[in-house]
Amino acid sequence: MDVLLLPHPTTPPRSIATVACTLRRDGAALNLRYTIAGAPGALLLAPGAGQERTDGLWRTTCMELFVGDAGEAYREYNFSPSGAWAAYAFVARRTGMAALPMRAPPRIEARQGEDATLVAIHLPDAGTGPLRLGITAVIEETDGTKSYWALRHGGDAPDFHDPDCFVAQLPPAD
């Protein structure tokens, strides 16, 4: 699945032109590749933190994935280009947030090129059933501009937890 994310109209980017994501399923694993294109050097990247669980990643450049099965419950994954990550479980929209235990942490690799930054993510255990996804990103530029990108935005302010953002559908794994 190849998708193009849209910035929320109230938070336009200054120097970022596009944010795209390619998602592939391999059994229970998901592989994502975000491509952030724009003016060279415009994207603010957090210093390397290594592959550790870290809260608050959404405060700066962060790729996010929201995964729902049947019902209102869903999981939120945050991936920093620095390698830091976070995972949470919710019982309903913004309700019952708890740290999501993971058998293996996601693998995150970032590469900054002349006109694009690539962030590749391997999420080992997203599940094998049908999934509804919200593919999103918070992008902070070096001048402090923040933009919020999603497949679809549901309200007057950016809110990735809005069920209207969960528009990508994955059938059960083979």
**How do residues 148-158 score in pLDDT, each as one tens digit?**
999 999 889 99
Q: Which residues pair with 68 in a beta bridge?
A: 74, 132
Looking at residue 80, what is its pLDDT? 94
Half-sphere CA count of 145, side-chain side, radius 13 A: 14
* Strand 98-99 with 107-112, pairing: unpaired
Average model confidence (pLDDT) across the chain? 93
| Confidence check: pLDDT of 77 > 80 | yes
> What is the mean pLDDT of the segment spanning 45-74?
88
Q: What pLDDT score does 49 carry? A: 66
Looking at residue 123, what is its pLDDT?
Answer: 95
Q: What is the mean pLDDT of residues 83-112?
A: 92
Q: What is the pTM of this model?
A: 0.94
Number of domains into which the chain is organized: 1
Of the candidates 96, 94, 92, 106, which has an alpha carbon nearest to the alpha carbon of residue 54? 106
pLDDT of 50 over the 80 cut: no
Residue among 134, 102, 122 at smallest CA distance from 26: 122
- Domain hosting 27: range is 2-170
pLDDT of residue 40: 82
Backbone phi and psi for residue 127, each to the nearest 5 degrees, phi listed first: 110, 160
List phi, psi (to 5°) of 113: -105, -170
What pLDDT was estimated at residue 131? 94
Whichever domain contains 88, its CATH number is: 2.60.40.1190
Query: Is the pLDDT confidence value at 48 over 70?
Result: no
What are the structure tokens assigned to 15, written together? 């120097």
Cβ(100)–Cβ(67) below 8 Å = no
Phi/psi at 43 (nearest 5 deg)?
-85, 130
pLDDT of residue 105: 84
Using the predicted structure, report yes or no on whether residue 46 has a pLDDT greater than 80: no
Predicted confidence at residue 67, as pLDDT, reads: 96
Q: How far apart are CA 93 and CA 69, in angstroms?
A: 13
